[in-house]
Amino acid sequence: MSETELHWLSVAALSRRIHAGTLSPVELMEHLLDRVRTLDPALESFRLVPRERALATARAAETALRAGESAGPLHGIPFAAKDIFDVRGLPTTAGSKHLDNNVVETDATAVRLLREAGMVLLGKTQTVQFAMGAPGINHHHGTPHNPWAAEHHVPGGSSSGSAVAVGAGLVPMALGSDTGGSVRIPAALCGVVGLKTTVGQVSRAGVFPISWTLDSVGPLTRTVEDAALVYQALHGSDPRDLSTAAARRQDVPGALGRGVKGLRIAFAGAPFWDDAEAEVVEAVRATGEVFARLGAQVGEIELPQAAACYTANRGGLISSVEGNYMHEKLLGEGFSDYDPVVYERLNVGRGKSGVDYVRALETCRALAAEAERALADVDAFLAPATVVPSRPFAELDASIEAYRQATPLYSRNTSIGNLLGLCAVSVPCGFTAKGLPIGLMVHAKAFDEAMALRVAHAYERATEWHLRRPALGWAEAA
C-alpha cells in the first residue's frame, strides 16, 4: 500500500506498522493533517484541529517508542473526539455558539484513557447542537457533509463529524456518544462501525451531558477489530462517574476470533422493520444467509418490549426531562435562541410532570428486565440500524416538519437499545443503488460488548462491505 493510502488503513494495521518500525507516528499524523487540510473545507467534519499540538504529541509518542516504551497496540494512533468531550486547554462547545469560549482544564476520562494508551489527539469533531438530533443537522456550526454523496447528504447525528472523519479517511478512530443512537446512526449512514456501550461500562465524566439515564460513550472506527481495541482501553470503573462502579472488565479483542458457529442469532420483529425502505430490508435480511453459512443458528424473535418502551418514552421524554434540567443548571433558561429542533425537544421535558417522568423511567426499567428474560435463549439479535439511508440535507432542512418526520426513521431502532439497557454495534452490510451505506445493527445483552463485537466481527470478515471507499473527488475540487 502506498503512502497516499495510509488514511484507509485500520487502527490494527497502522499499529502493526508502527510497532514494526516501518511507520512513525509523526509521519502518520502529518499525512492525516494534510488530508484534513485538503478535504475538510468541503466535509466540515472537524470543529477544531490544533495542528502544532497534535504534531508535538505525535513526536512524544515516537520518542517513547524509540526508547522501548510502548503503551500498547494503540500507541501512536491518531484519534478525534466529538466536541462534547473535554480536552484540556481546548473549548468544549457541544456544537453550540453558546459555548464557543468554554475552554476546559481537565480531560474527559475517555480522552485521558486514550492518551494513557498512547493515542494522539488530532482534533475535535463537529456535533449536532448539544448532541440532540438524529439526522445530524447543526445550524450554529454547520452540518458535516456525508462523504458518500457529492450532493450534500446528512451524516446522521449526533456524532456527525466523528462518522464523517472516519468515513472519509481523515482519522482512523473518533469518539462519539450515544443517548438514542448518536454513535450508530452516523456510523450506519457514513459506512463505518459504531459501538454503543452499556451504560456503566465506559465513564462519561467530562462529557457534556444529555441524560444520566441513557448517555453512553463509544468509538466510531473503520473495522470491528478497531472498535474492540479502543473499547478495551476505555471500559472500566471511574470514581468520576459513579455509574461505572460495577463495570465488568472483559478481554474483548481476545474473544473476537471465536466466530459464530453454534451461536443463536435472531432477527427481531416489529417495530424494527416498520417504514423500512426495500433496499434496507433486503440488505439486512441477507446477513442471515452469511451467519447461517458461518454456522450460527439463525431464527426470528418477537420482542414486544421494544415497541412498548418506545411508546413509554414517546417524544424522547426521559432524555428531554433530564436534558431540560441539565441545561437550566449549566446554561440558564435562555432556550429561545437554541436551534429550533433542540428547543422543541427540550420543551418536551418542560411540559412533563414528575409523575410522567418517573412513570416512563420505571416502565422502561421493567421492560428492560422483561427483555432480558426474553433474550435468555438468544446470543444476539439483528435489525436495521436505520430504516432509511442518508437523505439530502436540503430535503430534511426544508422545514421543521420535514425534520420532525425524518427523525424517527433514523432514531427509532437505535433508541430501543438505549431504553432496554443493551449494547449494540452497527456494521456496514450493503449499499443502495445510489451508493449510500446501509447498516446492520447487532444487539447483545447488557454488559456483553464482547458478544456484540464478536458477532459483528464474524460478519465483517465474511463480507467486503467495509472495504468500499467513498469517491471524494468532489471534496478535493471544492
Q: Which residues are catalytic?
A: 82, 158, 182
**Rounded CA separation 94/20 (Å):** 38
Grid cell, residue 145, equals 457533509
User: Environment class of residue 135 by beta-carbon count within 10 Å: exposed (0-12), middle (13-18) or buried (19+)?
Assistant: buried
Under DSSP, is residue 258 helix (H, G, I), strand (E, B) or coil?
helix
Determine how many CB atoms are found less than 10 A away from the CB of residue 86: 24
CA 196 to chain centroid = 7
* Phi, psi (deg, nearest 5) at residue 278: -60, -40
CA 274 to chain centroid = 23
Grid cell, residue 15, equals 499499529
**Rounded CA separation 157/105 (Å):** 27
Under DSSP, is residue 207 helix (H, G, I), strand (E, B) or coil?
strand
SS (H, E, C) 386-446: CCCCCCEHHHHCCCHHHHHHHHHHHHHHHHHHHHCCCEEEEEEEEECCCCCEEEEEEEECC
